[in-house]
């Protein structure tokens, strides 16, 4: 399941905005997949995005460190050891987007030098 952010109307505009702000399209895709799925493992993201384990973990760590994803550690369903699942905190995602919007838009009300 791959989500493309480039090439289709609003998705293209969103991708341009993310790039302009320094957000990687991979992190945005991961966030969208996690929000849509509820909870995912690194293996599921690797398959959906055709990324290596290290690549996925690099992005998951950044999103977790920024408070957009939460981790849940448990035993693998087949009993073959530990596994970590990630889920998004929709309230935190919304809060961060609102904060970003407010910060960017506040410049529109500043006096011109």
Tens digits of residue pLDDT in 75-108: 877 777 899 999 998 888 888 888 877 877 777 7
Please provide the size of the chain in residues: 113
What region does 106 belong to: left with phi over 0, alpha with psi -120 to 50, or beta? alpha
Domain 10-109 has CATH 1.10.4030.10: no
Q: Which of 13-22, 25-34, 35-44 has the lowest mean pLDDT?
A: 13-22
Rounded (5°) CA angle 70-72-77: 145
Of the pLDDT bands very low, low, confident and very high (cuts 50, 70, 90), residue 20 is low
So what's the pLDDT on residue 76? 79
Q: pLDDT at position 81, please?
A: 84
CA distance 46 to 29: 12
> Pick from 70, 61, 63: which is nearest to 39 by CA?
70
Query: What pLDDT was estimated at residue 93?
Result: 84
Give the per-residue pLDDT at 99: 82
Q: 3-class SS at 53?
A: helix
Residue 58: Cβ-neighbour burial (10 angstroms; 0-12, 13-18, 19+): middle
- For the chain, the structural domain boundaries read 10-109
**What is the mean pLDDT of the segment spanning 53-76?**
91
Residue 2 banded pLDDT, cuts 50, 70, 90: very low
Taking residues 6-32, what's their average pLDDT?
68
């Amino acid at each position: 399941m791959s989500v493309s952010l480039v090439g289709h109307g609003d998705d293209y505009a969103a991708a341009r905005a993310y790039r302009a702000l320094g957000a990687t399209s991979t992190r945005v895709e991961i966030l969208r997949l996690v929000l849509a799925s509820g909870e995912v493992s690194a293996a599921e993201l690797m398959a959906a995005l055709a990324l290596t384990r290290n690549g996925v973990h690099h992005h998951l760590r950044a999103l977790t460190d920024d408070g957009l994803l939460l981790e849940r550690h448990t035993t693998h369903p087949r009993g073959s050891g530990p596994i970590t699942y990630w889920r998004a905190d929709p309230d935190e995602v919304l809060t961060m987007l609102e904060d970003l919007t407010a910060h960017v838009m506040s410049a529109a009300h500043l006096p011109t030098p």
